[in-house]
Amino acid sequence: MDQLKSDLNDQMASSIVMAVALLLVSSFLLFWGSRLVRPTLFITSFLAVGVATLAVMPKIVSHTSATENTSCLLVGITPIATGVLAGCVALCCLTLGMALLGAGAGSAAGYALYIGILYRWPLETIGSTTLMLILSTSLGAFVGACIIVRLQKSVLIFATSAIGACGAVAAMAMLLAHANVRFLGSLRHSVQVDGHDYEFIWPQALAALALFAVGVLVQCRCAAHQRRKTASQTTALRNAQVPLIVP
């Protein structure tokens, strides 16, 4: 924790900028994700592939002979490059974009479930993480991708709300970590329950659930308002039509 706190203080400006950017993007997905489909697909594809790349890049770089500066550049630039590429491909192939959106939503839901409950059963330690975390996120991603590819717009509100809620909670944890570094416990490769650390983690799972419910409610109300507006416009247009032949 002391080392993590020191690293966080050294990178205070960049971590705050990243957290604020993530919070803004997550808020967009949480409240307007289902209305602006193409920007949503680009953002979610960027996040899904970028985060996955960021998770594996340190392991890959550690097995190369690259210098420290080169390794830092690779770890920092590669996730951004792959994320942008995935976002552009998602705009060209909407089915792939939907699949990445569903995978991101399912993975986010699986991770929230892990830090809330499933961390108690790690099953087996694999490196710095646990088998339960891998199963929670990977199975969640697979199920989420299958569901949204099958149902698409029927579950778009739930998918965007899930990603937005988890992203917003992660961003707030990054900001609150400047006051107490224990808030970052939820972003580790495995949940630590030493001492009172978990007291800073379980509220984040509840916050994600609450934000998910708020996002679904707001987007459902916006969708209902849009349907009523469209119906009233259609009715007004129909009533304004003048018959060409008057008997």
For the chain, the structural domain boundaries read 2-240
Q: Higher confidence at residue 118 or residue 13?
A: 118
CB atoms within 10 A of CB 70: 12
Helix, strand, or coil here: 191? coil
d(CA 74, CA 161): 31
- Residue 5 has a pLDDT of 59
| pLDDT of 193 strictly over 60 | no
| pLDDT of 55 strictly over 80 | no
d(CA 176, CA 185): 12
Which residues lie closer than 8 Å to 202 by C-beta, 6 or more apart? Answer: 115, 116
Model-level pTM greater than 0.95? no
Query: Beta partners for 130?
Result: 125
Helix, strand, or coil here: 89? helix
**CA distances in angstroms from 137 to 57, 71, 180, listed in the order given:** 18, 27, 27
Angle at 112 between CA 108 and CA 114, to 5 degrees: 115
Q: Higher confidence at residue 3 or residue 188?
A: 188
d(CA 29, CA 220): 13
